[in-house]
């Protein structure tokens, strides 16, 4: 019997006909084109990065993170051990104790995941997390990480500059701020604490957000972000207190007004909009002039805190002429 072949069916492959293996191969080819030019990636890292959920194997790229040359984006200070950076977290949606997120955040579902771009942009849109992940080559940067509670860590993050993504969003000239809105889903966050104005949100002036130091992170320690560290996408702002670095982002909102931010709403005396690390401006309840490193030193806080957490060369000019005691 002669099979009649329909041309239209023949040429239009429905996505449901594609096997996972084919989809995987397709993803792999895309990755090669998009990040093949990144000289820092080893062939093995590149090959392993084709696995959608684990873009680097921990061993290979952890080594790469370690070999990243110290420079503007990378400190040579000792890295905080992975186990500490993933078991001493603030992610209140999963509990307010430092050990809660590692225990509870397994209920966070990171695929499928979309990110909305809203407000004063040329074209409001919704993007798939994997589109964002593939948009620019992933770099490793080792940043100091300073919490407002006067502890610090040194963490290798994997991502690309937030400015790259903001350029992609094409904010209108009227946009002066960007707000970061994070996931709120009581089903995934059964222990969501009361008394907070969820969802957690943060924000920056647009020129701060465009500073190349501001990182859009998808991974840390050469592997995909653990849920408790803000999977599948977060901000990292090493010159500001940790709470500005919002985790598990679902929306970027561009606006001409300074956005409301979670901690500022809770206690504006303690947590300002800017929240730059500043050893000269104390928290009302403790000094910010010293800190302790989570891996090595217990109390007392013996490490002197640096202005802008040591990144003054790169960011101080953003605040020229501002009274930083007033705009804390």
Ligand X SMILES: Nc1nc2c(c(=O)[nH]1)N[C@H]1C(S)=C(S)[C@@H](COP(=O)(O)O)O[C@H]1N2
List residues binding Mo ion (CB under 5 A): 90, 147, 242-243
Residue 64 binds to ligand X (criterion: CB under 6 A): no
User: Distance between CA 239 and CA 214 in Å, rounded?
Assistant: 9
202 among annotated binding-site residues: no
Among 200, 252, 254, 274, binds ligand X (CB under 6 A): 200
- Strands 223-224, 125-128: parallel, antiparallel or unpaired by DSSP? unpaired
Site for ligand X in 1-30 (CB under 6 A): none
Which of the listed partners (Mo ion, ligand X, none) does 180 bind, with a CB threshold of 5 to 8 Å by partner kind?
Answer: none
Q: Is 90 in the site for ligand X (CB under 6 A)?
A: yes
Any idea what DSSP says for residue 129?
Answer: H
Residue whose CB is less far from ligand X, 48 or 230: 230
Q: x/- site string to ligand X, residues 219 to 238, per CB under 6 A?
A: ----------xx--------
Give the whole-angstrom CA distance, residue 108 versus residue 185. Answer: 9
> Which residue's CB is nearer to Mo ion, number 139 or number 202?
202
Position among 49, 60, 64, 89 found at the interface with ligand X (CB under 6 A): 89
Q: What is the per-residue DSSP string for 21-70?
A: HHHHHHHHHHHHHHHTT-TTS-HHHHHHTTSTT-SS-HHHHHHHHHHSPP
Q: Which helix (H) or strand (E) holds 218?
A: strand 215-220
CB closer to ligand X out of 35 and 236: 236
In a 10 Å sphere around its CB, with 0-12 CB exposed, 13-18 middle and 19+ buried, how is residue 77 labelled?
middle
Residue 92 within binding range of ligand X, rule CB under 6 A: yes
Q: Which of 147, 166, 210, 231 binds ligand X (CB under 6 A)?
A: 147
92 binds, among ligand X, Mo ion, none (CB under 5 to 8 A by kind): ligand X
Rg, C-alpha atoms of the chain:
21
Tokens 């940043």: give the residue: 143
Q: Which residue is nearest to ligand X (CB)?
A: 242
67 is in an annotated binding site: no
Given 3-state DSSP classes, what are the helix, strand and coil percentages for the chain, each rounded to the nearest 5?
A: 30, 20, 50
248 binds ligand X (CB under 6 A): yes
93 contributes a contact to ligand X by CB under 6 A: yes
Q: Is 246 annotated as a binding residue?
A: yes
* DSSP code of residue 13: -
Question: Closest separation between CB of residue 94 and ligand X, Å?
Answer: 8
Closest CA to 158 of 232, 260, 84: 232
Asked if 182 interacts with ligand X (CB under 6 A), we say: yes
220 marked among binding-site residues? no
Quick check: helix, strand or coil at residue 276?
Answer: strand
Say which entry of Mo ion, ligand X, none residue 49 contacts (CB below 5 to 8 A, set by partner kind).
Answer: none
- Give, in order, the Cα–Cα distances in Å from 123 to each of 167, 310, 317: 12, 37, 31
Which of the choices Mo ion, ligand X, none does residue 200 contact, using the CB cut-off of 5 to 8 A by kind? ligand X
Q: Which two tokens stand for residue 127?
A: 């993007």
Tokens 């019997």, residue located: 1
For ligand X, which is the closer residue by CB, 91 or 160? 91
The piece of 111-119, 126-134, 186-194, 244-252 that touches ligand X (CB under 6 A) is 244-252
∠ CA 159-160-161, rounded to 5°? 135
Q: Which residues are annotated as a binding site for Mo-molybdopterin?
A: 89, 92-93, 147, 182, 229, 234, 245-247
Residues that bind ligand X (CB under 6 A): 89-93, 145, 147, 182, 200, 229-230, 242-243, 245-248
Which residues fall in the annotated binding site? 89, 92-93, 147, 182, 229, 234, 245-247
């Amino acid at each position: 019997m002669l099979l009649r072949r329909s041309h239209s069916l023949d040429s239009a492959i429905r996505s449901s006909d594609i096997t996972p293996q084919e989809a995987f191969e397709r993803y792999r080819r895309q990755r090669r084109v998009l990040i093949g030019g990144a000289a820092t990636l080893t062939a093995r890292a590149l090959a392993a990065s084709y696995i959608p959920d684990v873009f680097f194997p921990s061993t290979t790229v952890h080594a790469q993170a370690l070999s990243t040359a110290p420079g503007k984006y990378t400190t040579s200070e000792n890295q905080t051990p992975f186990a500490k950076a993933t078991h001493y977290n603030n992610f209140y949606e999963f509990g307010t104790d430092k050990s809660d997120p590692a225990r509870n955040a397994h209920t966070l579902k990171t695929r499928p995941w979309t990110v909305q771009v809203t407000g004063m942009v040329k074209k409001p849109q919704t993007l798939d997390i994997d589109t964002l992940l593939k948009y620019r080559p992933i770099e490793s940067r080792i940043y100091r990480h300073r919490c407002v509670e006067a502890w610090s860590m040194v963490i290798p993050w994997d991502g690309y500059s937030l400015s790259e993504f903001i350029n992609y969003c094409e904010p209108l000239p009227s946009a002066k701020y960007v707000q970061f809105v994070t996931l709120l889903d009581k089903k995934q966050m059964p222990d969501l604490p009361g008394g907070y104005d969820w969802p957690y949100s943060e924000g920056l002036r647009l020129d701060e957000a465009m500073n190349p130091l501001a990182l859009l992170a998808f991974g840390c320690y050469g592997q995909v972000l653990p849920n408790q560290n803000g999977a599948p996408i977060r901000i990292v702002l090493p010159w500001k207190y940790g709470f500005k670095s919002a985790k598990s982002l679902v929306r970027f909102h561009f606006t001409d007004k300074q956005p409301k931010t979670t901690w500022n709403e809770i206690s504006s005396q303690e947590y300002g909009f800017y929240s730059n690390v500043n050893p000269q401006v104390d928290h009302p309840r403790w000094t910010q002039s010293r800190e302790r490193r989570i891996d090595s030193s217990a109390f007392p806080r013996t490490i002197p805190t640096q202005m802008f957490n040591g990144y003054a060369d790169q960011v101080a000019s953003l605040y020229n002429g501002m009274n930083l005691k007033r705009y804390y």
